[in-house]
Amino acid sequence: MGAKLGQHFLRDPEALAAIAEACGAGPGDAALEIGPGRGALTGPLLAAGARVTAVETDEALAAALPGRVPDASRLTVVAEDFLRFDLGSLGPGPWRVAGNLPYAVAAPILQKLLLWDGWTSAALMFQKEVALRLVAAPGGPDYGLLTLSVLMRADAELVLELPPEAFVPRPRVDSAVVALSRRSAPRLAPEDEKVFWRLAKAAFGQRRKMAAGTISGALARPRAEVEAALAAAGVAKTARPEEIAFPAWAALARALR
């Protein structure tokens, strides 16, 4: 996803090599690149020996991409918006994923990726503010629904931070790369996950309030019952949503289903 979405193109060679390494792509691996732009990351992925499928929404950039890399024999370019792209159309994987994501659509791209079971590892560039939310620990303002959505299906680690001068054109914010490893299965069964999101969305929708009250209202259940479930999960009845760790949210969902 390139110029049409105002993407900032990464030009730091060491950073590009680090992203290619963090996504885990090696000789013979299938690599999916999201938003290759001018091919700065495509080259290192090909150099690592991967077979690269690059999905680029800008038709001009997509058409020019094969001519921008030293060896395009292992490159397939798809001129399409990634958010509309049928991931099921990709060949057999497992897939390693990499991309310098446009800030405007980074979160929807991540959510689509998390729901796909064809990938094993990824290294994705985000606005630093968003990256910190992906890897946040409980207790702070960065911890929220985006954090929980990652934890449900993957493990995440912030591996690299980059200043504006690493890009052309220069963005007004810092950026960061997050490495993700997909879990073989979600941390909750489907019936529990449905309740999990009902609870979490209600609570984080009013994150300044105690979670017991908002959860009680969302489920139309007695507050005493919710407080008992919190206590069983090791959580104080006065806890606010950002103070509740993922395992406790999971325990609540199971208890209140």
| Cα–Cα nearest to 57, from 95, 96, 5, 112 | 5
| 207 and 114 together in one domain | no
| 116 and 198 together in one domain | no
| 84 and 169 together in one domain | yes
Q: What is the mean pLDDT of residues 131-152?
A: 98
* Domain at 172, CATH number: 3.40.50.150
Cβ pair 126, 176 in contact under 8 A: yes
| 174 and 197 together in one domain | no
In sequence order, the β-bridge partners of residue 17 are none
| 102 and 166 together in one domain | yes
pLDDT of residue 2: 43
Q: What is the mean pLDDT of residues 103-131?
A: 96
Q: What is the mean pLDDT of residues 135-164?
A: 97
| 59 and 129 together in one domain | yes
* Domain at 197, CATH number: 1.10.8.100
pLDDT at residue 229 tops 90: yes
Give 112's DSSP letter: H
Q: What is the mean pLDDT of residues 248-255?
A: 97
Side by side, which strands form the sheet with 154-162? 75-79, 51-56, 30-34, 95-100, 119-127, 175-182, 154-162
- The domain boundary, picked from 182, 199, 234, lies at 182
pLDDT at residue 11 tops 50: yes
| 102 and 160 together in one domain | yes
Give the DSSP letter string of 96-159: EEEEE--GGGHHHHHHHHHT-SSEEEEEEEEEHHHHHHHTPPTTSTT-SHHHHHHHHHEEEEEE
Amino acid symbol at 79 = A
- The domain boundary, picked from 126, 147, 182, lies at 182
The percentage of the chain sitting over the pLDDT mark of 90, rounded to a whole number, equals: 92
pLDDT of residue 3: 43
- The domain boundary, picked from 165, 182, 199, lies at 182
User: 95 φ, ψ to 5°?
Assistant: -100, 140
| 155 and 172 together in one domain | yes
* SS3 at position 129: helix
pLDDT of residue 93: 84
| 178 and 204 together in one domain | no
The percentage of the chain sitting over the pLDDT mark of 70, rounded to a whole number, equals: 97
Count of domains observed in the chain: 2
Q: Record the pTM.
A: 0.92
Q: What is the mean pLDDT of residues 30-37?
A: 97
Domain hosting residue 216, numbered range: 190-256
